[in-house]
Structure 1
């Protein structure tokens, strides 16, 4: 059995004539890895050609969608580009105090060493409660934003919005669902870190992390043009390693809260 055969069999969520949805393990890239292997290269070496409809970071686990033939690829990528695909991620932070719902509306830019950052100084980020007369885009109980006059004028900026909802809060940790409205590189990771709630184990913001990055691509919904345009929903339940930062009692409580989670209307 090849490595690809094992991954395909153990990690397959859904498959038909057009697409293959996998639950990507942590530590494996979707494609384009220079020195290590990646899923596309592994598949090609085993005689299967796959075309990624999108990417998730190497440190992120969870749902990733591939077209099995090139003729299906264009429509899928257009859906991601047009932001008609619904995406939901799970993030575990070693912080407390995240609002029940919130919107992070902070532009991104690329800084030194190709690092993604907010296109403003951290001190200029403001948190505005909705009940103070400041409405978050698409609702949301809190809005993190930066005044337009404080956005860096000397770099290219990328408008970026992430909606978050609190699922569970323990003694030290918080479990969040994050929905990226825009789909920028490292968006969720940078947005959460810059509002003071970095994802635990994230090497972008934690020196020499000793755990995995606790970010998981949880749900994906898209239109299957080859199946009469039906809306497809795909979910990858987080594995045991996703709860490893919590003690057993808290892990059970967080998993139970997730099982009973209903997205707020504003989310």
Structure 2
């Protein structure tokens, strides 16, 4: 547990546990219910992602918190380990997303249309698919440390799309180490961690943090 009061609960979720909605395995909402506590997930992180997750303890609080996410007033920071080389010290990935075959999230444009200029990846509006729903998506990042073997990246999703950081980094040539979306039979965990979350609660700005896993050190 990271933080708890009578209205909210913030946990450091381990890898391999879902937030909610898992059909055949335990998830945090179901485990809480089994223990006699009702929790309402304010947001989600992937099962393969560790770190900060925020729950409300009642629907009134849940509604106020989810509105903050919808209005994008919540600040989110993730840590990811990627292949090194080629990433600027800081940058912006401004690439729309869509959902393709087998419900897989992808960039909503041909790969060859992606352009890199002034530390920013974009696609021209004319290249964006017009046959499927598309979703503007922006991730900013900074390289915190780098060795010849790998890089530690701090990423901030300015929009909250499913798999956004994972797809954005992969499509600009730096997939997250161990990501099963882009790596066949990964040997270890997916190196993506929900590190820090800032939101308004009871008239104050609250920042919570899940310590970086030891194996993320570069």
TM-score, with normalisation over the residues of structure 2?
Answer: 0.98
Residues 194-244 of structure 1 show CA distances to partners (whole Å, capped at 9, x for unaligned) of 0000000000000111110000000000000xx2x100000001223x43x
Secondary structure of the residue aligned to 1:216 is strand
Please state if 1:231 is matched with 2:208.
no
Structure 1 residue 35: Cα displacement: 1.0
Provide the rounded CA distance (Å) in 2 between the counterparts of 1:43 and 1:50.
7
Runs of 4+ in 1 over 6 A off after TM superposition: none
Task: State whether structure 2 residue 52 is matched by structure 1 residue 63.
Answer: yes
Q: Is the 8 A contact 1:106 1:159 kept in 2?
A: yes
Q: Which one has a larger percent strand, Structure 1 or Structure 2? A: 2
3-state SS, counterpart of residue 88 of structure 2: coil
Q: Deviations over 1:21-47 (max 9, x none)?
A: 000000000000011110000000110
Matches within 5 A, 1:192-207: 192-207=169-184
Aligned to 1:29: 18
The answer to whether the Cα contact below 8 Å between 2:196 and 2:209 also exists between their aligned partners in 1 is: yes
**Larger RCO (CA under 8 A, 6+ residues apart):** 2
Structure 1: which 5+ runs fail to align? Answer: 1-11, 130-141, 244-250, 255-267
CA shift, 1:67, in A, is 0.3
**Residues 96 and 172, structure 1, Cα contact 8 Å, conserved in 2:** no
User: Residues of 1 paired with 2:75 and 2:117: CA distance?
Assistant: 26
Q: CA deviation at 1:71?
A: 1.8
- The number of aligned residues is 218
For the pair shown, the structure with the greater C-alpha radius of gyration is 1
1:171 equivalent in structure 2:
148
